[in-house]
Structure 1
Amino acid sequence: MEKGGAVRCQRIGCDAMFTEDSNIDGSCRYHDSGPIFHDGMKEWSCCKQRSHDFSLFLAIPGCKTGKHTTEKPVTKIVPANPRKPVPLPSAAQNKKPDDSCSRCRQGFFCSDHGSQGRPSKPIVITANKDDHVEKSAVPPVKKIVDLNEPQICRNKGCGKTFKEKENHETACEYHPGPAIFHDRMRGWKCCDIHVKEFDEFMNIPPCTKGWHNADAA
């Protein structure tokens, strides 16, 4: 690796850009074992985190930490055990969202604590000098980001670090999706490319250009 040149980490679950100087122990979060696909459920075999939605599945943070690497790891899909039943969403609907679970707090699907997290309603307290304090629920306020603050793009297939002042309509290369899994084939509907191996799927080049987005849906 050329010193000072930014390159992309090849670990599954990381995909960040890094330099030799910034590559310290703990800077990389990744999954060290392959995914399991069974009956529409996607699960990381290394940490048992799972989701029905593929975009949310790819957004599950890595369970291991270490240094970034440019060496491509060998990560194979782990066969699902047909004798081990996978919990269905209907079985989790009676469970209450867990406030300690990051996915429940953000309102995402969580098979461990229910089919839907509780939407958050920010409470704003307003008061004048001579008035009583009032509480009112208001829509979430869009986050204000410094133009020079480094952010990580969450568009599928990108994952680059960017600054808002450098963001423009062709800065990002990504897949608008959705991801397609059918008959042991994996691919993207947006570019109609399908492969058999999960590693090959992760390396399908992005087909669309646009703005970087740190809060992609």
Structure 2
Amino acid sequence: MLQCYNRGCGKKFNADENTDESCCHHPGEPFFHDVYKGWLCCNKKTIDFTEFLNIKGCTLSKHSNIKPPEPVKEEKNIEIVTEVPKVERLPIKSTMERPPFNETLTKVHPVVLPALKEAIDSLIPKLKESSLSNRVETDIKIGTSCKRSGCTAVYSTETIDSECQYHSGYPVFHEGMKYWTCCQKKTSDFTAFMNQKGCSYSKHKWFSDDQNSEVVNCRYDWHQTGKDVIVAIYAKLYHYENSSIEINPIRLKVSLCFPEQNNAKFELDLELRGIIDVKKTTAKMYGTKVEIIMPKAEPGSWAKLDFPRSKQVSETVQNDVDNKGKQSDSENSDVDLDDLDPVGMGPKILNLS
């Protein structure tokens, strides 16, 4: 007995009894598409595999013991690319050279919000009225000199209501040069330095600041974006005119004055971790805080806001610079520099006569 290999038949047959109507099979190819199975020759399809196997053939012919050829699978020639694509790397920018900490400071002119301005403008007259009860003008002696730096006016009936022209910064003596930090007019001649007119205008100050003024502790915080570093100092009722914000590329120095607390001050002097763009730095004074926005001079994230720095070290360095200037100028000048009393970070001229 021979085995029939026609599709859909699968019976065994005797070659002597094999006729043209002995085999019932499918001459076409089977197909499997989605969930359907069927034969292309008779277009019969079903979703059940057992029913598919039991579909009767659609053509009668002789049995065949020859296996039909299996379909040849096309071999796809896949080329393996061994070349590694070249990636063009951008040149690494060299980091900026860090400037010295004692570089000249630039004053930032903040935007004062109306809420703060109205609060301080209404507070100052009340404080003046209360201070007059304790200190009247009769306490000022005729001939008393103005306590502001660079002003040579003395107290008299003619100068009570006159305008005071003074230097809001402090004097610097460095490598033979003398200048004020507020207007930066440098000169090597001490007489010309003493005769420099002030760059700020206000009322005369006949009384010196109390030495026992309190120190205010204010909370401050910071955060950063991809381009800016923002410092926020939380404070209320600070005087917007008597407060100052000064910076250089790696330094932030803030001084806030509180008139309601006997002109007590909050001082902040930080050496910044990174380098900032001084020209693009801005500040805003709100009723509850001071916000300073410092653009980064080079991209990157700061791990911290500042480097730990002792305040005494910075004051010692400044004093050493001032002392060197005094020693070099005392040989060529008739003015005794011992008459310069330190106020803030530098000496202040009290009397030139």
| TM-score range normalised by the length of the shorter chain | 0.3 to 0.5
Q: Determine which structure has the larger strand proportion and give its number.
A: 2
* Structure number with larger C-alpha Rg: 2
TM-score by length of 2: 0.23
Q: Determine which structure has the larger helix proportion and give its number.
A: 2
